[in-house]
Structure 1
Amino acid sequence: MAEMISSAATGVLGSVIDKLAAMLTDKYNLARDVKQGIRSLQDELRTMEAMLLRLEDKDDDQIDPLAKDWRSKVRELSYDIEDCIDRFVLNHSHGDGGSTANFVHKAIQMVKTLFKDRGIAEEIRRLKRLVSEQSERGKRYYDINQCLLASSSQPVLLDPRAPALFQEARDLVGIDAPREEIISLLRCEDKEHKVVSIYGIGGQGKTTLAMEVYNKITEAAFDSRAFVSVSQTPDMKKLLRDILSQISQRHFDQPQMLETVEQLIRTVKECLKDKRYFILIDDIWNVDAWELVRSALPRNDNGSRIITTTRIELVAKSCCTGIAAQMYQAKPLILVNKHATEFLNSQVLRVLNIEVEYCECPLGHVKSLGQLKYLKSSKLPEDIEKLERLETLDMRWARLENLPTCIIQLHKLVRLFVHSSVRLPDGIGSLQALEEVSTINLGIQSLKFIQGLGDLTNLKLLKIDWSCSTELRDMEDHKVGPQISSLVNLTRLRIFVHGEAGKEGINILASLPMLLSLTVTLSNDQDGDAGILFARHAINRQGFQSLLKLNLRCWREAALEFEPEAMPKLQRLKLELRARCQFKFGEGGLVLGLQNLGLGLKHVAVVVVCYAAVADEVEALEDDIRGAAAVHPNRPILQIQRIHQDWMAQGCSRRPSDHAILEA
């Protein structure tokens, strides 16, 4: 279970890092200081990702409670950053329509200047502060160094990399090119000491590749050779004794002289000081473990060579510090039709990322891939139901209309990611291990699917498009609402609502007992009238008893009212409101009763959409928010940001004569 949670956290974090990279492309034309902020954010997130990787293979009872708490906070922070990026991208592409020449001119100017304003820069700075806080908290609360001196009395676990250490060359496919590249990196004209560090995510074949290099280089070229695996919780005495047994049997046979780590380091160093040696150090998880091993390997300038492997880029950099060294990033595995059958019979592959142009071979051969847990592909493999241990299936970039029914045979599937245009199969309720699903467009799913959705009682994260059209509201015995309300373990929900959900829809969301984070985007029906004035959404004291974070994006006319004692545990509130509606809902404007929220409220962020609004509408909305926040008992931190100011309407005040003006 702990592996699933950590894998989910690292998976989300990896997705966020990729999205940040996309923001740096020329498509968005960001200002220089914003790009610098994003790069800094990426570096910090990569460090946190490395720490999460160390937790990934641990059982739940092996992880300190503080580390578990930090892991959860990092995951939630990742979702917050993803929300920010998604909003940024949507703002880049979303407009309200219009056809006049003046509108087109303003649109062009907006696209040119939107990403140079202070809004996104301030958001990046805020996220950097939050990320830095969690990074420091992780370093304080989770001392990874405690893993270095694991007790030798603990049970010895089978290392899943062991088969790769002894695999025969004839069993390997497509490894020649990377093997020769690493051998070329190890070559050197003089006799300087050199290191090559291979890094990349788990399951990419780093160990197999390193052993191929190790076996390819003839023993005659070196006086001593050894290979060892460090692992996540290394027994350093055992590891050093393993090295010693391979370089000097005479010293190894004197156990009375090798009782401490310090004695072993001195002995190994003495045995190697005048020799040309070749050492392979596999699976290093942290810098301290590497430093300890390196202290036993003398730099004697006899042409010695060291290969290291690690999942963590920072560790790879440490292996290459202060010496002649090269880093080699393990490449994603590519299926070549000529060798696909042989390759897919691998017994150790756990992560597979397939690109469409290379995947023309059926995966009917993969029934032997008993270890495969993660599959990301832009083309759906055949016979996918044979991947019985699969936990993550990511088909977001696949050009699919329907996901085949055989998917429901993947009973260990924990995470399922598809594009919102994909129809999912009936019987989804049989996937009882599912904890995360996105994105489901309920408007295109069958009635049986919607029924089955309610059976996924272990679901914790759900992202859906919910069309609240008359057709869906009138479906007898197959309403969406009851199915969602049965998801009693749901902790995070991201929902895009088309049309008017009404009081019933709010009550459904409010009834979810474990819901901690809710992101709602309100939009009109595709054929709807953008000028429709829906009723004010009232939040009463009965619902949302566990909610900590609420993010509401109003892409249409919408207003809120928080009744006394509403959302008692809410800590963070983020609203995106259209200022042009400020006077349409009467006294109090778009938000009533913000001061009624629970005493735990710490932060309120409001994005004021200025499009088509006049100045007094914008100012009145901001004044109302400031006034309510000021009288809240907890005096939460308030952040107000304006967007689309270049598209504001020009003209007279729209303030009704009976609408009060707040005193400064």
Structure 2
Amino acid sequence: MVDVTASALMGVINPLLDKLSVLLEKDHVNLKGVNQNIAFLRDELSSMNTVLAMVAESDDVNPLVNEWMCQLRELAYDVEDCIEIFMHHLNRDGACDRFIDKMISKIITLKACYQIGDQINELKGRALEVSDRRKRYELSLSGQCSKSVVIDPRWPALFEEGDMFVGIDSQRDILVKWLTDDRDSHPQRMVVSVVGLGGLGKTTLANCVFRRIISQFDCTAFVSVSRSPNVNKVLVDVLLQLLKSSPTTEDQNRDIMGIPQDLYLRTLGYLELVNMIREHLQNKRYLVIIDDIWSKQAWKDIECAFPHNSTASRIITTTRIQDVAKGCSSPHSNYVYPMKHLDNDDSRRLFLKRVFYEGDCLLELKEVIDDILRKCDGLPLAIVNIASLLASIPTSKKQWERVRNSLFSALKQNHELEVVKRILLLSYYDLPHYLKICLLDLSLFPEDHEIDRLRLIRRWMAEGFIVQQRGQCLEDTGENYINELINRNMIQPVDINYSGRPRACRVHDIMHDLIISISLKENFATIVDNHKPSPLAYKIRRLTLVGNCEEQNLWQGTNILSHVRSLSIFGAVKKMPSLMDFQVLRVLDLHDWSNLEDGDIGSVGNLIHLRYLSLSNSNISKVPQQIERLKHLQTLDLRCTRIEELPATVAQLRKLVRLFLPSGVGLPNGFSNMEALEELSSLDVSRNSPEIVLELGNLTKLKVLGIEWFLGGSILGKARFKQSLASLFCRLGERNLQFLSFTSNSDSSVDFLIDSWCPPPRHLQTLIMCGLTVPIFSRLPKWISSLFELTHLEIFIEEIVWEICECSKICLPYSASEFT
């Protein structure tokens, strides 16, 4: 599992190298050779990163190299922690306005820089030692001992007997129909692509179809492709099978080969092989299966060997990646078949057939089997291999329960389940390093947890996992990361909206176990869960507390939490560790933790590196005054809490990008100082002054805004609020507003806005204007026709003036428009 270590480590080092380079470009205090040492660390880590890229390509690595990589990983983490602290102290001066404050800050900074200079010098020594160790022990990139030949775990599926197939008949019949119907009306070559998660049975399905229709073709071939294919070898295999299955005479074979076929063909180049295959297939009807394709380029290299000869030839490809499947079947996108999970009945049938053959299970084992099948979630690979494991042990409830309870650890120790791991790991290996580290972050969430898409992206941003792309904001890049993981069937989308974006995602239980095993091996995360205990690392980097865990005494009186970067709590955890123990925390995610109390976050101001703070869906009732010390905070989520008022110090969070408020909270004066704010929801107008409402227009970067217009008849100065709101809308029209949600429970419409939005926001993409009791407008506003980028509209009005709609250039999906 070397590629796991090397590539995941590259995901740690690459962002660190960027951070070191940025630091060297800045004009900062240079004490005790700090600049030179930072430059040395950058150059040394860059060289080690190059070695890692070579290691990641090797299948056989010396065990000492693995140990060296572990030491390098811990060094990289410690360097990043030190640099974070150093940069924080360097930026202290800019936050002070008064001269005396600046002088005091400079003295503190000077002292801190001396201390950090010593730490950086120590890290330089560790970097030298890590570098020298590889040279001292002559650690080569490849292993020294001979290695046994590893059989591709997918190949046994080609030799399954037909009576062992379960739940595949209906899927087979669909593909057979696609491939064989209307031969006369569709004589062109057709490509059908089967796509799905590793272990779903794509190879088995393709083989089942192959057996069913093979007799209808003149020649056939079935080949598998690896992640890094030798295209010439694949073409040789194809040609050998085509020749063998063709009705050629012995003389023809001798004329073609002259010498043994396989030896001769392996001497040919790519173009010669392609031309030979095309010539052989020119007037024949052929059937070819290309199994497990990993890239569009591999398909392009192979596909050109198969001519469009109008003989109703057929090709089946299988892949784990949706974009590759579409590329293979293009331009016939209708012939992409998404492989389905087995339903409950078929899962049970497959399991019982593998364990008991034709018999039925003992009644006392039913509950255990139900638990195991729930874990497998319709994944045939997992069902078959767990069943094979259970078939080899006595049918004792106690022993079966032991297997059920240890499935997570068994994934590392048992031969049958090692097959499951190897097949799923192929998908992990194929990820770029920046997606590997994002995928590992999912290990911090409990099994079967629906993970909110935006919550996940914001956590990635806070951790620095998202690589900045030119011309694209980090959140959009994060969206691309989510889409790519879905495209590769590593995660499953939940509740896809009108724009094709999922509200949330989840991870298959077996994949989740695999991610956890990698995460623990890489010391990426520590998960404290009574149901799945894991050992505490010497240096915990990310910590998740799950359920009714009672492990908090383990770290009391130690500095084991001083290196934790992320803390997440799920379930009925009784007590969280003291925030005083955390020194480099970036993510504090306490969403939906019912036992959270105000005292638990009293010292949150000490978390000077915090970037993401979620207290949503909790019983918290106040925000500490010292929150102003969180100078790097990007996301503050207070939704669905008992907070009624924000401290004035919130306005000092100048790097805050997203602020999510519970209903009925007022903003402090001066909040427009939060110049980085891009998202604000939801602002209750009734709990704020007209001046505060108008001040929103000073937020020049605001993209997302939610407003609650809950003004009753008793509110004094209602006319001033209307004037402020109308003025605000005009000012927002000059900004880059992209999303606006406006909710009213007023007993009258807000027609004062119907013609006053000038100019309207030209970049607005989503507009939601809803009245809870009465229509929000008496008619459709004229400015609607000027929102040229609008894609989602919900509006509660009394009547529609169709002339206004017709003059608009807006093209809206039917399901996204709501005219009531």
Describe the SS at the equivalent of 1:328.
strand
For residues 321 and 2 of structure 1, the distance between their equivalents in structure 2, rounded to whole angstroms, comes to 36
* C-alpha displacement of 1:234: 0.5
Partner in structure 1 of residue 671 of structure 2: 622
Mapping of residues 156-195 of structure 1, within 5 Å: 158-189=151-182, 190=184, 191-195=187-191
Describe the SS at the equivalent of 1:268.
helix
Q: Which amino acid aligns with 1:366?
A: I
* C-alpha displacement of 1:626: 4.6
Please say if residues 605 and 638 of structure 1, whose CA atoms lie closer than 8 Å, have aligned partners that are also in contact: no
Partner in structure 1 of residue 782 of structure 2: none
Please say if residues 228 and 239 of structure 1, whose CA atoms lie closer than 8 Å, have aligned partners that are also in contact: yes
Mapping of residues 473-512 of structure 1, within 5 Å: 479=553, 482=556, 486=560, 490-495=564-569, 505-508=578-581, 510-511=582-583
Partner in structure 2 of residue 307 of structure 1: 316
Change (3 A) 1:501 1:369: closer
Partner in structure 1 of residue 721 of structure 2: none
Once the two structures are overlaid, the 10-residue window that deviates more, 190-199 or 310-319, is 190-199
Partner in structure 1 of residue 231 of structure 2: 236
What TM-score do the two structures reach when normalised by structure 2? Answer: 0.42
Mapping of residues 11-410 of structure 1, within 5 Å: 61-62=56-57, 158-189=151-182, 190=184, 191-219=187-215, 221-248=216-243, 250=253, 251=256, 253=261, 255=264, 259-322=268-331, 326-334=335-343, 335-343=346-354, 354=374, 366=386, 368=388, 383-385=403-405, 387=407, 388-389=410-411, 395-396=447-448
* C-alpha displacement of 1:518: 2.8
Please say if residues 622 and 645 of structure 2, whose CA atoms lie closer than 8 Å, have aligned partners that are also in contact: no
* C-alpha displacement of 1:622: 2.2
The match for 1:519 among 589, 598, 606 is 589
Please say if residues 283 and 311 of structure 1, whose CA atoms lie closer than 8 Å, have aligned partners that are also in contact: yes
Structure 1 unaligned regions, length at least 5: 10-57, 70-153, 347-351, 371-379, 399-409, 418-430, 596-602, 630-635, 654-664
Q: Which amino acid aligns with 2:193?
A: S
Change (3 A) 1:639 1:560: farther
The one-character-per-residue Cα deviations of 1:514-572 (angstroms, maximum 9, x if unpaired) are x443334598869x8xxx899964624xx556x555556585211342577x67xx474
Once the two structures are overlaid, the 10-residue window that deviates more, 250-259 or 232-241, is 250-259
For residues 364 and 244 of structure 1, the distance between their equivalents in structure 2, rounded to whole angstroms, comes to 33
For residues 347 and 601 of structure 2, the distance between their equivalents in structure 1, rounded to whole angstroms, comes to 58
Please say if residues 294 and 319 of structure 2, whose CA atoms lie closer than 8 Å, have aligned partners that are also in contact: yes
The one-character-per-residue Cα deviations of 1:65-124 (angstroms, maximum 9, x if unpaired) are 9xxx9xxxxxxxxxxxxxxxxxxxxxxxxxxxxxxxxxxxxxxxxxxxxxxxxxxxxxxx
Describe the SS at the equivalent of 1:248.
helix
Once the two structures are overlaid, the 10-residue window that deviates more, 294-303 or 154-163, is 154-163
Describe the SS at the equivalent of 2:170.
helix
What TM-score do the two structures reach when normalised by structure 1? Answer: 0.51
For residues 170 and 7 of structure 2, the distance between their equivalents in structure 1, rounded to whole angstroms, comes to 30
For residues 568 and 660 of structure 2, the distance between their equivalents in structure 1, rounded to whole angstroms, comes to 21
Q: Which amino acid aligns with 1:236?
A: V
For residues 499 and 309 of structure 1, the distance between their equivalents in structure 2, rounded to whole angstroms, comes to 44
Partner in structure 2 of residue 423 of structure 1: none
The one-character-per-residue Cα deviations of 1:196-223 (angstroms, maximum 9, x if unpaired) are 211111001100111121122243x221
* C-alpha displacement of 1:338: 4.1
The reply to whether residue 607 of structure 1 matches residue 651 of structure 2 is no
Please say if residues 580 and 603 of structure 2, whose CA atoms lie closer than 8 Å, have aligned partners that are also in contact: no
Describe the SS at the equivalent of 2:589.
strand
Please say if residues 224 and 276 of structure 1, whose CA atoms lie closer than 8 Å, have aligned partners that are also in contact: yes
Please say if residues 367 and 386 of structure 1, whose CA atoms lie closer than 8 Å, have aligned partners that are also in contact: no
Partner in structure 2 of residue 83 of structure 1: none
* C-alpha displacement of 1:639: 4.7
* C-alpha displacement of 1:62: 2.4
Please say if residues 190 and 312 of structure 2, whose CA atoms lie closer than 8 Å, have aligned partners that are also in contact: yes
For residues 186 and 283 of structure 1, the distance between their equivalents in structure 2, rounded to whole angstroms, comes to 19
Structure 2 unaligned regions, length at least 5: 10-52, 59-68, 74-146, 245-252, 358-371, 391-399, 413-420, 422-442, 451-509, 679-698, 718-820
Please say if residues 437 and 461 of structure 1, whose CA atoms lie closer than 8 Å, have aligned partners that are also in contact: yes
For residues 327 and 645 of structure 2, the distance between their equivalents in structure 1, rounded to whole angstroms, comes to 56
* C-alpha displacement of 1:496: 7.0
Partner in structure 2 of residue 73 of structure 1: none
Q: Which amino acid aligns with 1:268?
A: I
* C-alpha displacement of 1:168: 3.1
For residues 214 and 319 of structure 2, the distance between their equivalents in structure 1, rounded to whole angstroms, comes to 24
**RMSD of the TM alignment (CA)?**
5.6
Q: Which amino acid aligns with 1:197?
A: S
Describe the SS at the equivalent of 1:210.
helix
For residues 561 and 3 of structure 1, the distance between their equivalents in structure 2, rounded to whole angstroms, comes to 44
Please say if residues 193 and 323 of structure 1, whose CA atoms lie closer than 8 Å, have aligned partners that are also in contact: no
Please say if residues 364 and 382 of structure 1, whose CA atoms lie closer than 8 Å, have aligned partners that are also in contact: no
For residues 180 and 220 of structure 2, the distance between their equivalents in structure 1, rounded to whole angstroms, comes to 17
Describe the SS at the equivalent of 2:278.
helix
The one-character-per-residue Cα deviations of 1:241-272 (angstroms, maximum 9, x if unpaired) are 11111123634638379522111111110110
Please say if residues 309 and 316 of structure 1, whose CA atoms lie closer than 8 Å, have aligned partners that are also in contact: yes
For residues 332 and 181 of structure 2, the distance between their equivalents in structure 1, rounded to whole angstroms, comes to 13
Please say if residues 606 and 639 of structure 1, whose CA atoms lie closer than 8 Å, have aligned partners that are also in contact: no
Q: Which amino acid aligns with 2:204?
A: T
Describe the SS at the equivalent of 2:335.
strand
Describe the SS at the equivalent of 2:588.
strand
* C-alpha displacement of 1:455: 2.7
The one-character-per-residue Cα deviations of 1:128-176 (angstroms, maximum 9, x if unpaired) are xxxxxxxxxxxxxxxxxxxxxxxxxx99863221212233334433333
Change (3 A) 1:628 1:533: farther
Please say if residues 197 and 326 of structure 1, whose CA atoms lie closer than 8 Å, have aligned partners that are also in contact: yes
Q: Which amino acid aligns with 1:202?
A: G
Q: Which amino acid aligns with 1:181?
A: I
Change (3 A) 1:384 1:533: closer
For residues 716 and 8 of structure 2, the distance between their equivalents in structure 1, rounded to whole angstroms, comes to 52
For residues 500 and 339 of structure 1, the distance between their equivalents in structure 2, rounded to whole angstroms, comes to 42
Q: Which amino acid aligns with 2:624?
A: A
Partner in structure 2 of residue 558 of structure 1: 623
- Matched-pair identity in %: 23
Describe the SS at the equivalent of 2:336.
strand
Asked which structure has the greater CA Rg, the reply is 2
Mapping of residues 544-583 of structure 1, within 5 Å: 549-551=612-614, 553=616, 555-561=620-626, 570=632, 572-574=634-636, 576=638, 582=645
Please say if residues 528 and 543 of structure 2, whose CA atoms lie closer than 8 Å, have aligned partners that are also in contact: yes
Please say if residues 225 and 279 of structure 1, whose CA atoms lie closer than 8 Å, have aligned partners that are also in contact: yes
Q: Which amino acid aligns with 1:326?
A: Y
The one-character-per-residue Cα deviations of 1:314-355 (angstroms, maximum 9, x if unpaired) are 111122213596222211033454442234699xxxxx9748
For residues 522 and 279 of structure 1, the distance between their equivalents in structure 2, rounded to whole angstroms, comes to 52
The one-character-per-residue Cα deviations of 1:459-506 (angstroms, maximum 9, x if unpaired) are 655444799xxxx9xx9x96486399635664432247999989x822
Change (3 A) 1:286 1:618: same
Please say if residues 161 and 207 of structure 1, whose CA atoms lie closer than 8 Å, have aligned partners that are also in contact: yes
* C-alpha displacement of 1:645: 2.2
Change (3 A) 1:581 1:497: farther
* C-alpha displacement of 1:575: 5.1
Describe the SS at the equivalent of 1:238.
helix
For residues 269 and 282 of structure 1, the distance between their equivalents in structure 2, rounded to whole angstroms, comes to 20
Equivalent residues, number: 427
Describe the SS at the equivalent of 2:191.
strand
More strand by share: 1
Partner in structure 2 of residue 84 of structure 1: none
